[in-house]
Structure 1
């Protein structure tokens, strides 16, 4: 999905609805997150670290969100040391990049070590240890990294996020393109906000993506906040989204 995303805007194509349905089917089989990690207090720091690393490596949102999700699932299952958590975080980022990005975008070992030094992370990676952790992660996830995250849905939902009948502050939208550009900034803000709090993991990824669009429409005073067209596209009603939206806007 990731490489295809980089090469083709799938959400504009004839197979968009089929791809969306495939993602929705896959998310029903995602592992249950239990928030059992003894190191859950470190989660916010590790998420911030992954965000900094992915930004410096210019990785796409799907790679960043997949890296976070891999780390969450691994931490939920195992009790590991702080040093190991740092190495595992780097390995999650590399694996997610290999799955979602083109080969030349995958972070190189030297670059990762430079970033670790810059971020005051007391870890020096070597190729053997990094590969060993990558293999451990792959075995832990049964070699399946096709794990939908909110970022995998958002472009599909954004494509139809503004319509000609929408109102802005009670008036017709003067520029659909500009409004959608503003909306996109808000949507990605809410997506990034959602990964900061592990309680969002109790929602389905597609619901978080849909709620991000709705919360953004509310912030921009687009009415109605949720349209029949968006409900049909996402298969979520306002009632489905309300709790998640409230958490985003509180």
Structure 2
């Protein structure tokens, strides 16, 4: 038997026990490897891709979505202004206080536009079915905004019970919010997803117009939630009237001649001088294209009655709606900020 040379045996042992070297790690810098791992771990779809896909799907099924929304708005899940008239303690002049309060809370938490309209719809549906004392009116409004935020917004935009209590100047205990939330949901049979003015606006109109036109349409839609005359109207009618009026103001497009749309546009124009200071301040901001500046030359005041014929005359008075004692004494809502607005009282 031949003996293996010591030199040769050392070479064999080195080759036998030497760890294999990866060609990739031998020639690829660590930074390139790290970037490769990042690409492998990255999500397959970015936010912009998802947005384009959603827009494509929405365009494809838009007609079916609108048909379903129109059928749903005609169901029995809407509000009834005549039933709301039967409330023993609530009066319609209290509604602007509450809506102003909700708009400020909604803006402070940066909730979606859909949340505000859904909250007001939930309030109207609940008040149509249950007796609400005026001392609990603000509590009902806060809980409806809370429910709508949970339904529409991301988790980080949903206010906590402690924050809601602070907004109400500690007029209610924390457990009252959870109790009222459960009572509202049970009264409405847990049916939350009713189409609103904003949902019709987004599905049918907004993506076809510029920011100035869509912001002006949103202003008119929010103006409508202050007043009784729009409670029983279909949301699609209000959305169409608001958008056609906005297009007429910004692009001088002649509005539709349908009687229902024309009467709604006329009602919105009549209510324009009565827009609250909170709403005017909100839509004077650049984030809403400062659309309030567009409304200065719209229709001279002599052609717009200050008070509608269906509303009894009221005397304007200055009242501080930021007073916490006002909540405990009368039950009227109080905005988070201490400001004085011109409000109307009977």
Q: Is 2:200 the partner of 1:153?
A: yes
Determine the structure 1 residue equivalent to 2:107. 55
Task: List gaps (5 residues or longer) in structure 2.
Answer: 1-50, 271-346
Residue from 213, 230, 235 that aligns with 1:205: 235
Determine the structure 1 residue equivalent to 2:189. 142
Change (3 A) 1:90 1:211: same
Q: Kindly report which structure 2 residues correspond to 1:1-250, keeping only aligned pairs within 5 A, or say none.
A: 8=54, 12-29=58-75, 30-33=77-80, 34=82, 35-36=84-85, 37-38=87-88, 39-40=90-91, 41-117=93-169, 123-126=171-174, 128-159=175-206, 161-162=208-209, 180-226=210-256, 238-250=258-270
3-state SS of paired residue (1:147): coil
Contact 2:111-2:149 at 8 Å conserved across structures = yes
Determine the structure 2 residue equivalent to 1:234. none
Q: CA offsets, 1:71-121, max 9 Å, x none?
A: 12222333322221121111111111111112222111222223223xxxx
| Rounded Cα–Cα distance in structure 1 between residues aligned with 2:56 and 2:157 | 20
| Rounded Cα–Cα distance in structure 2 between residues aligned with 1:200 and 1:125 | 33
3-state SS of paired residue (1:15): helix
| Rounded Cα–Cα distance in structure 2 between residues aligned with 1:81 and 1:185 | 35
Superposition deviation, residue 134 in structure 1? 0.8
Which structure has greater helix proportion?
Answer: 1
| Rounded Cα–Cα distance in structure 2 between residues aligned with 1:59 and 1:90 | 14
- If the length of structure 1 is used for normalisation, what is the TM-score? 0.77
Structure showing greater radius of gyration is 2
Contact 1:215-1:249 at 8 Å conserved across structures = no
3-state SS of paired residue (2:168): helix
- In the alignment of these two chains, the number of paired residues is 214
Contact 1:11-1:159 at 8 Å conserved across structures = no
| Rounded Cα–Cα distance in structure 1 between residues aligned with 2:163 and 2:122 | 21
Task: List gaps (5 residues or longer) in structure 1.
Answer: 163-179, 227-236
Superposition deviation, residue 8 in structure 1? 5.0
Q: CA RMSD in A?
A: 2.4
- If the length of structure 2 is used for normalisation, what is the TM-score? 0.57
Superposition deviation, residue 12 in structure 1? 4.5
Contact 1:157-1:213 at 8 Å conserved across structures = no
| Structure 1 stretches of at least 4 aligned residues deviating more than 3 Å after TM superposition | 7-13, 159-162
